[in-house]
């Protein structure tokens, strides 16, 4: 008004001054009054298109204001009322008069305004849309009750959208807004395209929102029809159990099946510690479309390891790695095994980080077949005048070898006929307990010699067909000293094949033993050979 009024007054003044020569000043006063009234009505019309309340009502079944977690208390400790203000805009401020405002929360498509009970009026301000001053509530505000306010910001109208297929997905101008029925959606003036889809049913409608529409809103129903002839079956698979996203929603892990309308689509595959990958594909109607999606690209690091000796086999538990190529590995922790024939294997743990290189040196040691400290056990066949089978146990301490064995007699002497038992033959078997000391000498990586000095304690067991309770010579015993050398070959680690030639010298015997050896076909000493195997740890 400050700018327009003087300019308009000047123009009228010039016209009148040229046409009339009388009382110009009085006429100009009347003209200014008319201009002022005109601009005043124009200004009031602009304000009418600002913020206004389209509807305010009590939501009888809504218990939000009276439910734990969503209720609030006013300054007197009483339950506040909740006004759910329907608007998609933000940036409003609220004044509640002398009773004030309890609090506000911004929700999707709404503003939750908490006010004390018996609140009477509300002032709403917005930097762009103006001020709604002293709006008096049309109903009594009760504590713990929920109300709904439809707020009109003056640039559109509320529209309720329904569809012939309930719970259809609604899209307005390409933006997904929810499922039908969609109540009180605020749309700006102009044309809008509404699409609805559920399963194989689709519908589209274009509406024009104008200022002459009812301020209380309009209802638009979308007619939907079966479009199955335009759809195809789609199966999307991806390796490595990656997640599949379609339209930015997770739809499957490793596999996703759906029906899609013919056309081009894009899926994105994602996985932790990987860069996502996109795969675009085309769907053909009435066909089964199989799509192999691109696997997400793993974040990688590098392993740079020098080994002694060279040409070591390197395995990460899945594949063999070529260390000469500085292999890239997906980030994570690995147990890397280094092996080579004839060498002791080694396993090391590496944590691979994104775009970082792990450097290390690994030295493998040759397999030590001959151990200076070891424990062993095994068995052998003892070939001597009375042969048997031996069980062996031993211990090596700093190459000093301590061995103990027990030999079970297997072969018998020739029958002996004693005086008074001429019609009954007696045979004998010899069991032995041996303790030997030796010192192992490594002649090669897989061959060792252990000279031994031992003590043998021999006992005889008699066998006869006589019915007498006493068998002559049963339990006869002798003692001997043995000298020999255990020669061992080690075909694989921990396994010894050995032969031990030895010679024993009798140092004592009882009368029974002496009589049996004189009459029998054996001696309790002399040359013997033991051959068998040992398990070495």
Minimum mean pLDDT range among 63-77, 202-216, 319-333, 430-444 = 319-333
Residue 452 has pLDDT above 90, yes or no: yes
Mean pLDDT score of the chain, rounded to an integer? Answer: 87
- Buried b / exposed e over 34-60, threshold 16 CB at 10 Å, is ebeeeeeeeeeeeeeebbbbbbbeeee
Residue 10 has pLDDT above 60, yes or no: no
- Please tell me the CATH code under which domain 300-363 is placed: 2.60.40.1120
pLDDT at 518: 83
- Buried b / exposed e over 268-292, threshold 16 CB at 10 Å, is bbebeebeebebebebeeeeebebe
The DSSP element (H or E) to which 408 belongs, if any, is: strand 400-409
Query: How much is the CA Rg of the chain, to the nearest whole Å?
Result: 53
pLDDT at 316: 83
pLDDT at 5: 41
- Please tell me the CATH code under which domain 373-536 is placed: 2.40.160.70
Model confidence band, residue 516 (pLDDT cutoffs 50, 70, 90): confident
pLDDT at 423: 63
Q: Which residues contact 517 (CB under 8 A, 6 or more apart)?
A: 509, 523, 524
Model confidence band, residue 24 (pLDDT cutoffs 50, 70, 90): very low
CA terminus-to-terminus distance, the chain = 107
pLDDT at 29: 52
Strands 373-383 and 526-536: antiparallel
Minimum mean pLDDT range among 5-14, 35-44, 97-106, 327-336 = 35-44
* Higher pLDDT among residues 390 and 32, named by residue: 390
Q: Which residues contact 245 (CB under 8 A, 6 or more apart)?
A: 251, 267, 268, 269, 270, 276
**Was domain 229-296 assigned CATH 3.40.50.2000?**
no
The average pLDDT across 189-203 equals 93
Q: pTM of this prediction?
A: 0.47
The average pLDDT across 348-375 equals 90
What's the per-residue H, E or C state across 485-517? EEEEEEEECCEEEEEEEEEEEEEEECHHHHHHH
pLDDT at 39: 40
What's the per-residue H, E or C state across 18-29? HHCCCCHHHHHH
pLDDT at 466: 60
- Please tell me the CATH code under which domain 156-226 is placed: 2.60.40.1120
Q: Which residues contact 11 (CB under 8 A, 6 or more apart)?
A: none
| pLDDT tens, residue by residue, 376-423 | 999 999 998 889 999 999 999 999 999 999 999 998 888 888 776 566
């Amino acid at each position: 008004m400050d700018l327009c009024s003087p300019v308009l007054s000047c123009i009228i003044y010039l016209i009148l001054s040229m046409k009339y020569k009388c009382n110009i000043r009085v006429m100009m006063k009347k003209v200014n009054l008319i201009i002022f009234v005109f601009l005043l009505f124009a200004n009031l019309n602009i304000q009418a298109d600002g913020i206004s309340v389209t509807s305010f009502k009590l939501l009888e079944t809504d218990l939000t204001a009276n439910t734990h977690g969503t209720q609030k208390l006013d300054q007197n400790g009483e339950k506040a009322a909740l006004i759910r203000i329907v608007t998609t805009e933000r940036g409003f401020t609220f004044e509640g008069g002398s009773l004030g405002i309890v609090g506000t929360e911004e929700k999707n498509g709404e503003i939750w305004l908490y006010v004390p009970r018996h609140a009477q009026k509300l002032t709403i301000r917005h930097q762009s849309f103006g001020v709604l001053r002293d709006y008096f509530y049309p109903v009594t505000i009760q504590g713990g009750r929920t109300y709904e306010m439809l707020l009109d910001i003056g640039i559109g109208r509320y529209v309720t959208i329904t569809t012939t297929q309930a719970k259809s997905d609604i899209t307005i101008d390409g933006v997904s807004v929810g499922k039908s029925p969609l109540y009180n959606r605020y749309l700006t003036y102009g044309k809008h395209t509404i699409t609805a889809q559920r399963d194989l049913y689709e519908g589209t409608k274009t509406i024009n929102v104008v200022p002459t529409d009812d301020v209380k809103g309009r209802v638009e129903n979308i007619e939907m029809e079966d479009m199955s002839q335009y759809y195809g079956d789609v199966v999307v698979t991806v390796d490595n159990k990656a997640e599949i996203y379609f339209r930015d929603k997770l739809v499957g892990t490793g596999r996703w099946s759906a029906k899609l309308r013919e056309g081009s689509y894009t899926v994105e595959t994602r996985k932790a510690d990987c860069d996502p990958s996109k795969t675009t594909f085309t769907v053909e109607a009435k066909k089964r479309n199989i799509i192999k999606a691109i696997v997400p690209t793993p974040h990688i690091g590098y392993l740079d390891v020098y080994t002694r000796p060279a040409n070591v086999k390197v395995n990460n538990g899945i594949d063999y790695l070529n260390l000469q190529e500085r292999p890239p590995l997906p980030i994570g922790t690995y147990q890397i095994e280094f092996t080579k024939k004839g060498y002791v294997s080694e396993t090391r743990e590496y944590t691979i980080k994104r775009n970082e290189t792990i450097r290390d040196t690994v030295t493998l040691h040759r397999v030590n077949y001959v151990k200076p400290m070891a424990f062993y056990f095994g068995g052998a066949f003892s070939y001597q005048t009375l042969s048997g089978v031996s069980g062996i146990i031993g211990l090596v301490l700093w190459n000093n070898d301590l061995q103990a064995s027990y030999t079970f007699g297997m072969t018998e002497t020739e029958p002996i006929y004693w005086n008074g038992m001429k019609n009954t033959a007696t045979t004998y078997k010899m069991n032995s307990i041996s303790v030997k000391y030796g010192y192992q000498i490594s002649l090669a990586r897989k061959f060792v010699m252990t000279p031994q000095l031992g003590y043998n304690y021999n006992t005889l067991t008699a066998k006869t067909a006589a019915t007498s309770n006493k068998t002559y010579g049963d339990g006869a015993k002798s003692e001997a000293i043995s000298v020999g050398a255990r020669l061992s070959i080690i075909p694989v680690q921990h396994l010894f094949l050995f032969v031990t030639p030895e010679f024993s010298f009798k140092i004592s015997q009882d009368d029974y033993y002496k009589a049996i050896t004189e009459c029998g076909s054996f001696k309790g000493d002399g040359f013997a050979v033991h051959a068998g195997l040992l398990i070495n740890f």
